[in-house]
Amino acid sequence: MTEFLIPLLTLIALELILGIDNIIFISILADKLPKDQGNKLRYWGLGLAVLIRLILLGFISWILKLDKTLFSILDIDITGKGLILILGGLFLIWKSTKEIYLKTEDPRNQEVRAKKGASFNSLLMDIVLLDLVFSVDSIITAVGMVSELWIMYTAVIVSVILMLIASKPISDFIQKHPSFKILALSFLMLIGMALIGEGLHFVIPKGYIYFSMFFSFIVNLIQIKTNSFSTHEK
Spatial separation of the C-alpha atoms in residues 89 and 21, rounded to whole Å: 12
State percent of the chain over pLDDT 90. 0
Are residues 156 and 12 in contact, defined by beta-carbon separation less than 8 angstroms? no
Are residues 46 and 163 in contact, defined by beta-carbon separation less than 8 angstroms? yes
Are residues 142 and 152 in contact, defined by beta-carbon separation less than 8 angstroms? yes
Cβ contacts of 9 within 8 Å, gap of 6 or more: none
Spatial separation of the C-alpha atoms in residues 182 and 138, rounded to whole Å: 26
Are residues 192 and 93 in contact, defined by beta-carbon separation less than 8 angstroms? yes
H helices within 58-148, ranges in order?
60-64, 80-104, 107-117, 120-145
Calculate the average pLDDT of the chain.
77
Are residues 186 and 194 in contact, defined by beta-carbon separation less than 8 angstroms? no
pLDDT band at 224 (very low <50, low <70, confident <90, very high): confident
Taking only the tens place, the pLDDT of each residue in 14-40 is 777 767 777 778 877 877 777 778 888
The reported pLDDT for the residue numbered 144 is 65
Mean pLDDT of 9-16: 78
Spatial separation of the C-alpha atoms in residues 21 and 129, rounded to whole Å: 13
